[in-house]
Amino acid sequence: MHIGAKALAALLGAALAAAPLAAETVAIRAGSVIVDAAAEPSGPATILIADGRIVSITPGHGEVAADRTIDLAGKTVLPGLIDLHTHLTGDPGGDFWKEATEPDEWDVVVGAKNARLTVLAGFTTVREAGSGRETAFALRRGTAEGLVPGPRIIAAGPPLAIIGGHGDTNGFRPEVNELLDRGFTCTGPVECAAKVRLASQNGADVIKITATGGVLSQQGRGLEAHFTFEEMKAIADTAHSLGLKVMAHAHGARGIELSARAGIDSIEHGTYLDEAAARAMKASGSVLVPTLMALQGVSEGLGKGVYTPVVEAKIRAVQPLMDSLVRRARQFGVTVAFGTDAGVYQHGRNAEELALMRAQGMSDREVLASATTVAARVLGMESQIGRLAPGYSADIIAVDGNPLTDIRVLEKVGFVMVRGRVIE
Protein backbone atom coordinates (compact mmCIF):
# COMPACT_ATOMS: atom_id res chain seq x y z
CA MET A 1 0.00 0.00 0.00
CA HIS A 2 1.22 3.50 -0.86
CA ILE A 3 0.15 6.40 1.35
CA GLY A 4 0.44 9.97 0.02
CA ALA A 5 1.86 12.74 2.18
CA LYS A 6 -1.55 14.38 2.56
CA ALA A 7 -3.27 11.15 3.64
CA LEU A 8 -0.42 10.44 6.06
CA ALA A 9 -0.78 13.90 7.65
CA ALA A 10 -4.52 13.28 8.09
CA LEU A 11 -3.82 9.90 9.73
CA LEU A 12 -1.28 11.43 12.10
CA GLY A 13 -3.72 14.21 12.99
CA ALA A 14 -6.36 11.63 13.88
CA ALA A 15 -3.86 9.71 16.01
CA LEU A 16 -2.92 12.85 17.94
CA ALA A 17 -6.57 13.74 18.52
CA ALA A 18 -7.15 10.27 19.97
CA ALA A 19 -4.31 10.60 22.52
CA PRO A 20 -5.46 11.39 26.07
CA LEU A 21 -5.13 15.09 26.91
CA ALA A 22 -4.19 14.76 30.58
CA ALA A 23 -2.92 11.55 32.15
CA GLU A 24 -4.52 10.26 35.32
CA THR A 25 -2.63 10.94 38.55
CA VAL A 26 -2.44 8.12 41.10
CA ALA A 27 -1.49 8.23 44.78
CA ILE A 28 -0.23 5.11 46.58
CA ARG A 29 -0.58 5.15 50.37
CA ALA A 30 2.20 2.80 51.49
CA GLY A 31 2.72 1.26 54.92
CA SER A 32 6.41 1.63 54.32
CA VAL A 33 8.65 2.33 51.31
CA ILE A 34 12.08 0.93 50.48
CA VAL A 35 13.16 3.46 47.85
CA ASP A 36 16.43 1.70 47.16
CA ALA A 37 18.09 -1.58 48.23
CA ALA A 38 20.64 0.56 50.11
CA ALA A 39 17.94 2.34 52.18
CA GLU A 40 15.91 1.36 55.24
CA PRO A 41 12.07 1.10 55.14
CA SER A 42 10.69 4.64 55.52
CA GLY A 43 7.49 4.12 57.49
CA PRO A 44 4.15 5.42 56.13
CA ALA A 45 4.54 7.40 52.92
CA THR A 46 2.59 8.55 49.87
CA ILE A 47 3.84 8.07 46.31
CA LEU A 48 2.37 10.32 43.63
CA ILE A 49 2.43 9.04 40.04
CA ALA A 50 1.61 10.76 36.73
CA ASP A 51 2.32 9.81 33.09
CA GLY A 52 3.82 6.49 34.20
CA ARG A 53 6.46 8.19 36.33
CA ILE A 54 6.96 8.92 40.01
CA VAL A 55 6.30 12.59 40.80
CA SER A 56 7.00 12.61 44.53
CA ILE A 57 7.40 10.44 47.63
CA THR A 58 6.32 12.22 50.80
CA PRO A 59 6.23 11.00 54.42
CA GLY A 60 2.84 10.24 55.98
CA HIS A 61 -0.62 9.83 54.48
CA GLY A 62 -1.67 13.49 54.19
CA GLU A 63 -4.05 14.79 51.52
CA VAL A 64 -2.61 14.54 48.00
CA ALA A 65 -4.47 15.81 44.94
CA ALA A 66 -4.79 12.69 42.76
CA ASP A 67 -7.48 11.21 40.49
CA ARG A 68 -7.19 7.84 42.22
CA THR A 69 -5.78 6.51 45.48
CA ILE A 70 -4.45 2.97 46.01
CA ASP A 71 -4.37 1.80 49.60
CA LEU A 72 -1.30 -0.31 50.44
CA ALA A 73 -1.16 0.87 54.07
CA GLY A 74 -0.40 -2.64 55.40
CA LYS A 75 2.37 -3.35 52.88
CA THR A 76 6.01 -2.69 52.19
CA VAL A 77 6.36 -0.97 48.82
CA LEU A 78 9.56 -1.25 46.81
CA PRO A 79 10.96 -1.04 43.26
CA GLY A 80 9.84 -3.75 40.83
CA LEU A 81 12.33 -6.60 40.34
CA ILE A 82 14.50 -7.07 37.25
CA ASP A 83 15.34 -10.49 35.74
CA LEU A 84 18.30 -10.22 33.34
CA HIS A 85 17.78 -13.64 31.77
CA THR A 86 14.38 -14.93 30.65
CA HIS A 87 12.94 -16.78 27.66
CA LEU A 88 9.29 -15.72 27.80
CA THR A 89 8.47 -17.30 24.45
CA GLY A 90 9.24 -20.85 25.60
CA ASP A 91 8.17 -23.30 28.28
CA PRO A 92 10.37 -25.93 29.96
CA GLY A 93 10.94 -29.45 28.69
CA GLY A 94 9.22 -30.50 25.52
CA ASP A 95 10.64 -32.53 22.69
CA PHE A 96 13.32 -30.73 20.72
CA TRP A 97 11.66 -31.67 17.42
CA LYS A 98 8.84 -29.24 18.21
CA GLU A 99 11.19 -26.61 16.84
CA ALA A 100 10.25 -28.03 13.46
CA THR A 101 6.49 -28.02 14.03
CA GLU A 102 5.67 -24.95 16.12
CA PRO A 103 5.56 -21.63 14.27
CA ASP A 104 6.89 -18.34 15.67
CA GLU A 105 3.28 -17.14 16.06
CA TRP A 106 2.71 -19.86 18.66
CA ASP A 107 5.78 -18.66 20.60
CA VAL A 108 4.17 -15.22 20.89
CA VAL A 109 1.00 -16.79 22.36
CA VAL A 110 3.11 -18.72 24.88
CA GLY A 111 5.05 -15.51 25.54
CA ALA A 112 1.87 -13.55 26.34
CA LYS A 113 0.90 -16.18 28.90
CA ASN A 114 4.38 -16.09 30.46
CA ALA A 115 4.68 -12.29 30.43
CA ARG A 116 1.63 -12.15 32.70
CA LEU A 117 2.96 -14.84 35.08
CA THR A 118 6.29 -13.03 35.27
CA VAL A 119 4.88 -9.60 36.05
CA LEU A 120 2.49 -11.02 38.65
CA ALA A 121 5.58 -12.51 40.34
CA GLY A 122 6.87 -8.94 40.83
CA PHE A 123 9.21 -8.68 37.84
CA THR A 124 8.61 -5.36 36.11
CA THR A 125 11.56 -5.58 33.70
CA VAL A 126 13.09 -8.63 32.00
CA ARG A 127 15.88 -9.11 29.51
CA GLU A 128 14.87 -11.61 26.82
CA ALA A 129 17.98 -13.72 26.31
CA GLY A 130 17.31 -15.35 22.94
CA SER A 131 14.18 -16.24 21.03
CA GLY A 132 12.79 -16.59 17.50
CA ARG A 133 13.31 -13.99 14.78
CA GLU A 134 10.80 -11.37 15.93
CA THR A 135 8.78 -13.03 18.69
CA ALA A 136 10.37 -11.13 21.60
CA PHE A 137 10.14 -7.86 19.67
CA ALA A 138 6.38 -8.33 19.14
CA LEU A 139 5.95 -9.16 22.82
CA ARG A 140 8.06 -6.14 23.80
CA ARG A 141 5.65 -3.89 21.94
CA GLY A 142 2.65 -5.70 23.41
CA THR A 143 3.64 -5.05 27.02
CA ALA A 144 4.89 -1.51 26.27
CA GLU A 145 1.53 -0.54 24.77
CA GLY A 146 -0.43 -2.29 27.51
CA LEU A 147 -2.08 -4.80 25.13
CA VAL A 148 -0.44 -7.71 26.96
CA PRO A 149 -0.03 -7.63 30.76
CA GLY A 150 3.68 -8.09 31.34
CA PRO A 151 7.02 -6.56 32.24
CA ARG A 152 9.08 -4.06 30.26
CA ILE A 153 11.07 -6.21 27.85
CA ILE A 154 14.68 -5.63 26.79
CA ALA A 155 15.04 -8.08 23.90
CA ALA A 156 17.99 -9.74 22.19
CA GLY A 157 16.14 -11.59 19.43
CA PRO A 158 17.94 -14.67 18.03
CA PRO A 159 21.34 -15.34 19.64
CA LEU A 160 24.55 -15.28 17.61
CA ALA A 161 26.03 -18.80 17.49
CA ILE A 162 28.66 -20.79 15.63
CA ILE A 163 27.39 -23.20 12.97
CA GLY A 164 26.15 -26.28 14.81
CA GLY A 165 26.80 -24.72 18.21
CA HIS A 166 24.48 -24.05 21.11
CA GLY A 167 21.93 -21.57 19.79
CA ASP A 168 22.00 -22.97 16.26
CA THR A 169 19.49 -25.62 15.20
CA ASN A 170 20.76 -29.14 15.86
CA GLY A 171 19.50 -32.68 15.92
CA PHE A 172 17.70 -32.84 12.57
CA ARG A 173 18.85 -34.05 9.15
CA PRO A 174 20.99 -31.39 7.40
CA GLU A 175 18.27 -30.13 5.06
CA VAL A 176 15.88 -29.63 8.00
CA ASN A 177 18.54 -27.85 10.09
CA GLU A 178 19.09 -25.56 7.12
CA LEU A 179 15.39 -24.79 6.77
CA LEU A 180 15.07 -23.89 10.46
CA ASP A 181 18.17 -21.67 10.44
CA ARG A 182 17.38 -18.23 11.87
CA GLY A 183 20.25 -16.57 10.04
CA PHE A 184 22.40 -15.68 13.04
CA THR A 185 25.33 -18.09 12.85
CA CYS A 186 28.67 -16.60 11.85
CA THR A 187 32.26 -17.61 11.13
CA GLY A 188 35.17 -15.16 11.40
CA PRO A 189 35.27 -11.63 12.79
CA VAL A 190 33.92 -9.94 9.66
CA GLU A 191 30.80 -12.07 9.38
CA CYS A 192 30.22 -11.92 13.15
CA ALA A 193 30.43 -8.10 13.10
CA ALA A 194 27.93 -8.09 10.22
CA LYS A 195 25.49 -10.24 12.23
CA VAL A 196 25.69 -7.80 15.16
CA ARG A 197 24.77 -4.97 12.77
CA LEU A 198 21.93 -7.07 11.37
CA ALA A 199 20.60 -7.74 14.89
CA SER A 200 20.77 -4.03 15.62
CA GLN A 201 18.93 -3.24 12.37
CA ASN A 202 16.23 -5.77 13.28
CA GLY A 203 15.57 -4.07 16.62
CA ALA A 204 17.73 -5.87 19.19
CA ASP A 205 18.22 -3.97 22.49
CA VAL A 206 21.14 -6.18 23.45
CA ILE A 207 23.33 -8.74 21.65
CA LYS A 208 23.17 -12.31 22.95
CA ILE A 209 25.87 -14.80 21.96
CA THR A 210 26.33 -18.44 22.86
CA ALA A 211 30.05 -18.24 23.61
CA THR A 212 30.38 -21.89 24.66
CA GLY A 213 28.52 -25.17 24.33
CA GLY A 214 25.20 -25.46 26.15
CA VAL A 215 23.53 -27.93 28.45
CA LEU A 216 20.13 -28.19 26.79
CA SER A 217 21.11 -28.44 23.10
CA GLN A 218 21.31 -31.72 21.21
CA GLN A 219 25.08 -31.81 20.83
CA GLY A 220 27.73 -33.48 22.94
CA ARG A 221 30.60 -31.17 21.99
CA GLY A 222 31.48 -30.16 25.53
CA LEU A 223 30.91 -26.83 27.21
CA GLU A 224 34.06 -24.93 26.19
CA ALA A 225 34.54 -21.89 23.97
CA HIS A 226 32.82 -22.03 20.59
CA PHE A 227 33.71 -18.63 19.18
CA THR A 228 37.36 -17.64 18.74
CA PHE A 229 38.72 -14.66 20.66
CA GLU A 230 38.84 -12.63 17.42
CA GLU A 231 35.17 -13.37 16.75
CA MET A 232 34.12 -12.41 20.29
CA LYS A 233 36.18 -9.21 20.13
CA ALA A 234 34.58 -8.25 16.81
CA ILE A 235 31.13 -8.87 18.31
CA ALA A 236 31.82 -6.82 21.46
CA ASP A 237 33.49 -3.91 19.62
CA THR A 238 30.77 -3.74 16.97
CA ALA A 239 27.96 -3.88 19.54
CA HIS A 240 29.59 -1.19 21.68
CA SER A 241 30.03 1.05 18.64
CA LEU A 242 26.25 0.79 18.16
CA GLY A 243 25.54 1.53 21.84
CA LEU A 244 24.55 -2.08 22.56
CA LYS A 245 25.81 -4.35 25.33
CA VAL A 246 26.67 -8.03 24.84
CA MET A 247 25.53 -10.91 27.03
CA ALA A 248 27.35 -14.22 26.60
CA HIS A 249 26.03 -17.64 27.48
CA ALA A 250 29.20 -19.31 28.82
CA HIS A 251 29.85 -22.46 30.86
CA GLY A 252 33.50 -23.52 30.33
CA ALA A 253 36.16 -21.56 32.25
CA ARG A 254 38.28 -20.72 29.19
CA GLY A 255 35.16 -19.61 27.32
CA ILE A 256 34.29 -17.28 30.21
CA GLU A 257 37.83 -15.94 30.31
CA LEU A 258 37.92 -15.31 26.54
CA SER A 259 34.52 -13.58 26.67
CA ALA A 260 35.63 -11.28 29.48
CA ARG A 261 38.91 -10.43 27.73
CA ALA A 262 36.98 -9.67 24.55
CA GLY A 263 34.98 -7.04 26.47
CA ILE A 264 31.67 -8.87 26.73
CA ASP A 265 29.51 -7.13 29.34
CA SER A 266 27.84 -10.04 31.14
CA ILE A 267 28.52 -13.74 31.52
CA GLU A 268 25.36 -15.84 31.77
CA HIS A 269 25.52 -19.12 33.76
CA GLY A 270 29.32 -19.11 34.31
CA THR A 271 29.26 -22.69 35.57
CA TYR A 272 32.96 -23.64 35.46
CA LEU A 273 34.21 -20.23 36.65
CA ASP A 274 37.73 -20.60 38.02
CA GLU A 275 40.24 -18.11 39.40
CA ALA A 276 41.71 -17.10 36.02
CA ALA A 277 38.25 -16.58 34.54
CA ALA A 278 37.06 -14.62 37.58
CA ARG A 279 40.15 -12.40 37.48
CA ALA A 280 39.54 -11.70 33.78
CA MET A 281 35.93 -10.74 34.59
CA LYS A 282 37.02 -8.50 37.44
CA ALA A 283 39.59 -6.78 35.19
CA SER A 284 37.10 -6.14 32.35
CA GLY A 285 34.15 -5.31 34.62
CA SER A 286 32.08 -8.20 33.22
CA VAL A 287 29.13 -9.07 35.45
CA LEU A 288 28.02 -12.62 36.33
CA VAL A 289 24.36 -13.57 35.89
CA PRO A 290 24.32 -16.99 37.62
CA THR A 291 20.84 -18.37 36.65
CA LEU A 292 20.78 -20.85 39.55
CA MET A 293 17.08 -21.52 38.96
CA ALA A 294 17.89 -23.02 35.56
CA LEU A 295 19.69 -25.90 37.18
CA GLN A 296 17.09 -26.15 39.94
CA GLY A 297 14.39 -26.48 37.27
CA VAL A 298 16.14 -28.99 35.01
CA SER A 299 17.24 -31.09 38.00
CA GLU A 300 13.57 -31.57 38.86
CA GLY A 301 13.11 -33.18 35.41
CA LEU A 302 16.06 -35.61 35.63
CA GLY A 303 15.33 -39.32 35.21
CA LYS A 304 11.80 -38.64 34.04
CA GLY A 305 12.42 -38.96 30.32
CA VAL A 306 12.10 -35.20 29.87
CA TYR A 307 15.58 -34.85 28.34
CA THR A 308 17.48 -36.86 25.75
CA PRO A 309 20.45 -38.97 27.06
CA VAL A 310 23.03 -36.48 25.69
CA VAL A 311 21.34 -33.64 27.60
CA GLU A 312 20.83 -35.64 30.83
CA ALA A 313 24.58 -36.38 30.94
CA LYS A 314 25.40 -32.68 30.66
CA ILE A 315 22.91 -31.72 33.40
CA ARG A 316 24.45 -34.22 35.83
CA ALA A 317 27.95 -32.88 35.06
CA VAL A 318 27.16 -29.23 35.87
CA GLN A 319 24.92 -29.88 38.89
CA PRO A 320 27.57 -29.82 41.70
CA LEU A 321 29.29 -26.72 40.28
CA MET A 322 26.27 -24.42 40.59
CA ASP A 323 26.14 -24.84 44.38
CA SER A 324 29.32 -22.78 44.81
CA LEU A 325 29.15 -20.47 41.77
CA VAL A 326 28.09 -17.21 43.46
CA ARG A 327 30.57 -17.76 46.29
CA ARG A 328 33.42 -18.39 43.81
CA ALA A 329 32.61 -15.24 41.83
CA ARG A 330 32.34 -12.95 44.84
CA GLN A 331 35.58 -14.26 46.30
CA PHE A 332 37.36 -12.54 43.39
CA GLY A 333 35.26 -9.37 43.50
CA VAL A 334 33.05 -10.18 40.48
CA THR A 335 29.71 -8.36 40.50
CA VAL A 336 26.71 -10.72 40.59
CA ALA A 337 23.46 -9.57 38.99
CA PHE A 338 20.08 -11.27 39.09
CA GLY A 339 18.95 -13.52 36.23
CA THR A 340 17.19 -16.86 36.22
CA ASP A 341 16.83 -18.43 32.73
CA ALA A 342 13.03 -18.65 33.15
CA GLY A 343 11.67 -20.87 30.40
CA VAL A 344 14.21 -23.54 31.31
CA TYR A 345 12.08 -23.82 34.48
CA GLN A 346 8.43 -22.78 34.96
CA HIS A 347 7.82 -19.03 34.44
CA GLY A 348 6.62 -17.18 37.55
CA ARG A 349 9.03 -18.96 39.93
CA ASN A 350 11.72 -16.32 39.19
CA ALA A 351 11.87 -15.01 42.79
CA GLU A 352 13.00 -18.42 44.07
CA GLU A 353 16.45 -17.48 42.72
CA LEU A 354 16.76 -14.86 45.50
CA ALA A 355 16.98 -17.48 48.28
CA LEU A 356 19.41 -19.59 46.20
CA MET A 357 21.74 -16.57 45.99
CA ARG A 358 21.42 -15.91 49.72
CA ALA A 359 22.31 -19.55 50.42
CA GLN A 360 25.69 -18.82 48.77
CA GLY A 361 26.65 -16.08 51.20
CA MET A 362 24.92 -12.92 49.95
CA SER A 363 22.97 -10.82 52.47
CA ASP A 364 19.26 -10.12 51.94
CA ARG A 365 20.18 -6.54 51.04
CA GLU A 366 22.82 -7.64 48.51
CA VAL A 367 20.36 -10.03 46.92
CA LEU A 368 17.71 -7.29 46.64
CA ALA A 369 20.29 -4.93 45.12
CA SER A 370 21.26 -7.59 42.55
CA ALA A 371 17.65 -7.66 41.30
CA THR A 372 17.12 -3.87 41.36
CA THR A 373 19.94 -1.29 41.32
CA VAL A 374 22.68 -3.65 40.10
CA ALA A 375 20.50 -5.15 37.36
CA ALA A 376 19.40 -1.66 36.27
CA ARG A 377 23.07 -0.71 35.88
CA VAL A 378 23.74 -3.81 33.75
CA LEU A 379 20.96 -2.61 31.44
CA GLY A 380 22.35 0.95 31.43
CA MET A 381 18.96 2.06 32.80
CA GLU A 382 20.01 3.08 36.32
CA SER A 383 18.46 6.54 35.90
CA GLN A 384 15.04 5.05 35.03
CA ILE A 385 14.43 1.82 36.97
CA GLY A 386 15.65 -0.13 40.01
CA ARG A 387 14.82 2.63 42.53
CA LEU A 388 11.81 4.67 43.56
CA ALA A 389 12.54 8.37 43.09
CA PRO A 390 10.98 11.36 41.32
CA GLY A 391 11.38 10.99 37.54
CA TYR A 392 11.84 7.20 37.71
CA SER A 393 9.41 4.84 35.97
CA ALA A 394 6.50 3.89 38.25
CA ASP A 395 7.59 0.21 38.44
CA ILE A 396 6.34 -0.64 41.90
CA ILE A 397 5.57 -3.80 43.89
CA ALA A 398 4.21 -4.43 47.38
CA VAL A 399 4.74 -7.31 49.81
CA ASP A 400 4.00 -8.29 53.39
CA GLY A 401 7.05 -8.09 55.65
CA ASN A 402 10.53 -6.71 55.06
CA PRO A 403 12.67 -8.19 52.24
CA LEU A 404 15.79 -6.69 53.85
CA THR A 405 15.44 -9.13 56.75
CA ASP A 406 13.94 -12.03 54.77
CA ILE A 407 14.31 -11.94 50.99
CA ARG A 408 11.80 -14.80 50.63
CA VAL A 409 8.87 -12.42 51.27
CA LEU A 410 9.41 -11.49 47.60
CA GLU A 411 8.18 -14.94 46.55
CA LYS A 412 4.65 -13.67 47.25
CA VAL A 413 4.02 -10.28 45.68
CA GLY A 414 0.59 -8.74 46.34
CA PHE A 415 0.60 -5.69 44.06
CA VAL A 416 2.38 -4.83 40.82
CA MET A 417 2.51 -1.64 38.79
CA VAL A 418 4.53 -1.26 35.59
CA ARG A 419 5.06 2.18 33.98
CA GLY A 420 2.20 3.49 36.13
CA ARG A 421 -0.24 0.74 35.03
CA VAL A 422 -1.63 -1.54 37.74
CA ILE A 423 -1.48 -5.20 36.67
CA GLU A 424 -4.86 -6.80 37.46
Closest CB to Zn ion among 312 and 341? 341
Report, in Å, the least distance between residue 177 CB and Zn ion: 21
The residues in 321-380 that bind Zn ion, with binding defined as CB under 5 A, are 341
Report, in Å, the least distance between residue 30 CB and Zn ion: 35
Closest CB to Zn ion among 130 and 189? 130
- Site map (CB under 5 A) of Zn ion, residues 248-287, x = contact: ----------------------------------------
Q: Which of 129, 196, 298, 398 binds Zn ion (CB under 5 A)?
A: 129
Closest CB to Zn ion among 87 and 140? 87
Report, in Å, the least distance between residue 129 CB and Zn ion: 5
Closest CB to Zn ion among 257 and 268? 268
Backbone torsions φ then ψ of 364, nearest 5 degrees: -55, -40
Residue 50: count of CB within 10 angstroms of its CB:
17
Closest CB to Zn ion among 83 and 395? 83
Three-state secondary structure readout of the chain: CCCCHHHHHHHHHHHHHHCCCCCCEEEEEEEEECCCCCCCCCCCEEEEEECCEEEEEEECCCCCCCCEEEEEEEEEEEECEEEEEECCCCCCCCCHHHHHCCCHHHHHHHHHHHHHHHHHCCEEEEEECCCCCCHHHHHHHHHHCCCCCCCEEEECCCCEECCCCECECCCCCHHHHHHHCCCCECCCHHHHHHHHHHHHHHCCCCEEEECECCCCCCCCCCCCECCCHHHHHHHHHHHHHCCCCEEEEECCHHHHHHHHHCCCCEEEECCCCCHHHHHHHHHHCCEEECCHHHHHHHHCCCCCCCCCHHHHHHHHHHHHHHCCHHHHHHHCCCCECCCCCECCECCCCCCHHHHHHHCCCCCHHHHHHHCCHHHHHHCCCCCCCCCCCCCCECCEEEECCCCCCCHHHHHCCCEEEECCEECC
Closest CB to Zn ion among 215 and 253? 215
Report, in Å, the least distance between residue 160 CB and Zn ion: 14
Report, in Å, the least distance between residue 212 CB and Zn ion: 13
| Contact between residue 389 and residue 45 where contact means Cβ atoms under 8 Å apart | no
Report, in Å, the least distance between residue 344 CB and Zn ion: 6
* CA atoms of 36 and 55, how far apart (whole Å): 16
| Contact between residue 126 and residue 80 where contact means Cβ atoms under 8 Å apart | no
- Site map (CB under 5 A) of Zn ion, residues 153-192, x = contact: ----------------------------------------
Looking at 47-55, 124-132, 193-201, 398-406, which segment touches Zn ion (CB under 5 A)? 124-132
Using CB under 5 A as the binding criterion, the count of chain residues that bind Zn ion stands at 2
Looking at 121-129, 218-226, 228-236, 414-422, which segment touches Zn ion (CB under 5 A)? 121-129
Report, in Å, the least distance between residue 165 CB and Zn ion: 14
Closest CB to Zn ion among 231 and 341? 341
Report, in Å, the least distance between residue 99 CB and Zn ion: 15
| Contact between residue 396 and residue 80 where contact means Cβ atoms under 8 Å apart | yes
Closest CB to Zn ion among 75 and 166? 166
Please report whether residue 91 would count as binding Zn ion according to CB under 5 A: no
Report, in Å, the least distance between residue 86 CB and Zn ion: 8
Report, in Å, the least distance between residue 188 CB and Zn ion: 25
Closest CB to Zn ion among 214 and 420? 214
- Site map (CB under 5 A) of Zn ion, residues 193-232, x = contact: ----------------------------------------
Closest CB to Zn ion among 46 and 286? 286
Residue ranges that bind Zn ion, judged by CB under 5 A? 129, 341
